[in-house]
Amino acid sequence: MPPAPARAPRETVPVKTTPSYAVGPEGKALVRELAAVADYIARVKQEIGALRVNELCRDRIPSANEELGTVVRTTASATHDIMAAAEEILGADDTSLEGYRARVEAKMLAIIEACSFQDITGQRIAKVVEALGQLERRLERFANALHVRDGADGPADPEDARRDARRERLMLHGPAAEGQGIAQDDIDKLFG
Amino acid sequence: MALDLSMPILVVDDYQTMVRIIRNLLKQLGFEDVDDASDGTTALAKLKQKKYGLVISDWNMEPMTGYELLRHVRADENLRSTPFIMVTAESKTENVIAAKKAGVNNYIVKPFNAQTLKTKIEGVCGA
């Protein structure tokens, strides 16, 4: 067995040490800014999470929509029943007083029954009010936490912009809040 | 001058319940010839086909509002003398003034009662 070749002496590798960069005032400011941006992003993520947007879009808003749709249908149906009863009384041509009285009593009862819609629609509207209140509180917290300001020149949805322009041009304000609109007496003075 | 109960009246409103309410009130006042339309465009077409003694119109409708209908009526030589009452939930002063400038004969804010409607019709159509 031939003798093993003599090993070459191990080369000494110099140990690398982390270079110490000197961070000037500008660098420190940059680091501080980046840290602030990172904090801000973390806070934005936290606040967006607190909005629970998915829950709002999946449950709360569709549910409020559904409740209001039901309120509209229920009130329309009750109004129809009440008016039909009233129209029947107005158009009654009974020959006897007893017959007329019986008809009026039956229709009055129908009117009273139809008025029961108010209890249910009141409860449905209360649910919508609660959902809107929750949405308002979450948005308010979001806006306050991030110091959000309304953008005056933000991109507007073209359909919204068209509707707003039409409302403005044709003075479509809808019913005024209680005590806000002009009273009939004041209108009458204008037409004196 | 007594009201001409035979005069045709056109009620313009996109809510069928309101049309029904006004129809019933008019019937109680003695008017029998009452037609209706659900917006200004349909109303204008009806006005060009038949001579009405009175138009009672809502303001907020699509595609043509009651305000636009009023302006069309007042701009049309054949229709401009037709009495026109606005019955609407629009109760801002600017709406009332704009309607008056456009030539409306009277203006009723919803909700209203039979007496108000009667008084305005009498005032406009000459009782």
pLDDT tens digits for range B64-122: 999 999 999 999 999 999 999 999 999 999 999 999 999 999 999 998 888 899 999 99
Q: How confident is the model at residue B127 (pLDDT cuts 50, 70, 90)?
A: low
Say how many CB pairs under 8 Å bridge A and B: 64
Q: Report if residue B47 sits inside a domain.
A: yes
Q: Check residue A186 and give its pLDDT.
A: 93
Q: Report if residue B1 sits inside a domain.
A: no
Total structural domains within chain B? 1
Tell me whether residues B91 and A176 touch, CB distance under 8 A: yes
Question: What is the three-class DSSP state of B65?
Answer: coil
Q: Check residue A23 and give its pLDDT.
A: 73
Task: Output DSSP code: residue B87.
Answer: E
What are the chain B neighbours of A182 within 8 Å (beta carbons)?
Answer: 91-93, 96, 109
Q: Is B28 on the interface with A (CB under 8 A)?
A: yes
Q: Report if residue B3 sits inside a domain.
A: no
Q: Report if residue B89 sits inside a domain.
A: yes
Q: Report if residue B111 sits inside a domain.
A: yes
pLDDT tens digits for range B16-48: 889 999 999 999 889 999 999 999 999 999 999
Q: Report if residue B106 sits inside a domain.
A: yes
User: ipTM above 0.90?
Assistant: no
Q: What's the CATH number where B18 sits?
A: 3.40.50.2300
pLDDT tens digits for range B41-57: 999 999 999 999 999 99
Q: Is B65 on the interface with A (CB under 8 A)?
A: yes
Give the pairing of strands B84-88 and B106-109.
parallel
Q: Check residue B114 and give its pLDDT.
A: 87
Domain residue limits at B58: 9-125
- Cβ-based neighbours of A75, under 8 Å, separated by 6 or more: A117, A121
Q: Check residue B18 and give its pLDDT.
A: 92
Name the residue facing B67 among A80, A170, A181 (closest C-beta). A170
Q: Check residue B38 and give its pLDDT.
A: 96
Q: What residue ranges of chain A have pLDDT lower than 70? A: 1-22, 152-155
Compare all CA atoms of chain B with the CA of A173 and give the residue at the minimum distance.
B90
Q: Check residue A13 and give its pLDDT.
A: 60
Q: Check residue A79 and give its pLDDT.
A: 93
Q: Check residue A60 and give its pLDDT.
A: 87
Q: Report if residue B4 sits inside a domain.
A: no
pLDDT tens digits for range A127-172: 999 999 999 999 998 888 888 887 766 667 888 888 889 999 999 9
For residue A171, is it left (φ>0), alpha (ψ between -120 and 50) or beta?
Answer: left
Provide residues of A within 8 Å CB-CB of chain B.
Answer: 76, 79-80, 83, 86-87, 90, 170-176, 180-184, 187, 190-191
Task: Output DSSP code: residue B33.
Answer: -
What are the chain B neighbours of A176 within 8 Å (beta carbons)?
Answer: 89, 91-92
Q: Report if residue B2 sits inside a domain.
A: no
- Cβ-based neighbours of B10, under 8 Å, separated by 6 or more: B34, B35, B36, B37, B43, B46, B47, B52, B54, B55, B56, B57
- Dist CA A173 CA A24 (whole Å): 61
